[in-house]
Amino acid sequence: MKKELTEVYCGSGRGKTALAIGQSLSASARGKSVIIIQFLKGKEHKSLDFLEKLDNLDIKIFRFEKRDVCYEELTDQEKDDEKRNIVNGLNFARKVVATHECDWLLLDEILGVLDCGITTPEAIADILKQKGESMHIILTGRSLPDQLREYVDSVTTLVTEEPDWQECCEEN
């Protein structure tokens, strides 16, 4: 059996979650059991729920936040309340990895949880240290801290650049 990877999709560009979801969908189509844990997007972020309804695919999606809106849009008091729910999601991720509950795990916006100061790189490293060789893990977010690089096999950075439309038009 080949050793599965730990991958990171990060950067300022759009499409990190879409790329990770596409990879997860492909893995499920190949017979892998997939768990997706979303962080910081609120409980009403239902754009992925259709995946659970697709026949012949083993995909489960979990969100631990109770508020309808993204974490960034909450008041300070609401953020304090929501942090407990996010920590529950992190503990669930730890359990999934430790018990090898799936073949493929997507931790969507887990790096954003670091950016918000809800957890530490050491806590995420603790999760990654428990990964077996037959589990594939993808982490998404804006930036990967140096403390986590040793636990990651591949980093893909997505950058969105604003085109200089005038320059583009002059070339044609």
Q: What is the mean pLDDT of each run of 10 residues along the chain (172 residues)?
A: 88 89 93 92 57 70 79 81 90 97 96 92 96 96 96 92 58 45
Give Cβ neighbours of residue 107 (< 8 Å, ≥ 6 apart).
37, 39, 93, 137, 138, 139, 140
pLDDT value of residue 49: 57
Could you give the CA distance from residue 42 to residue 62 in angstroms, rounded to a whole number? 11
Give the structural domain span for 85. 6-171
The reported pLDDT for the residue numbered 75 is: 82
pLDDT score of 101: 95
Report if residue 74 sits inside a domain: yes
Position 42 scores a pLDDT of: 58
The per-residue pLDDT for 78 is 83
Q: How far apart are CA 29 and CA 22, in angstroms?
A: 11
Report the C-alpha gap between 7 and 24 in whole angstroms.
12
CA-CA distance, 97 to 129, in Å (whole number)?
Answer: 9
Predicted structure pTM score? 0.85
The tally of domains found in the chain comes to 1
In degrees, to the nearest 5, what angle opens at C-alpha 128 toward C-alphas 127 and 129?
95
d(CA 159, CA 161): 6
What pLDDT is stored for residue 79 in this prediction? 84
CATH classification at residue 69: 3.40.50.300
CB of 107 closer than 8 Å to CB of 37: yes
Assigned domain for 1 exists: no
Structure tokens at 128: 């990654």
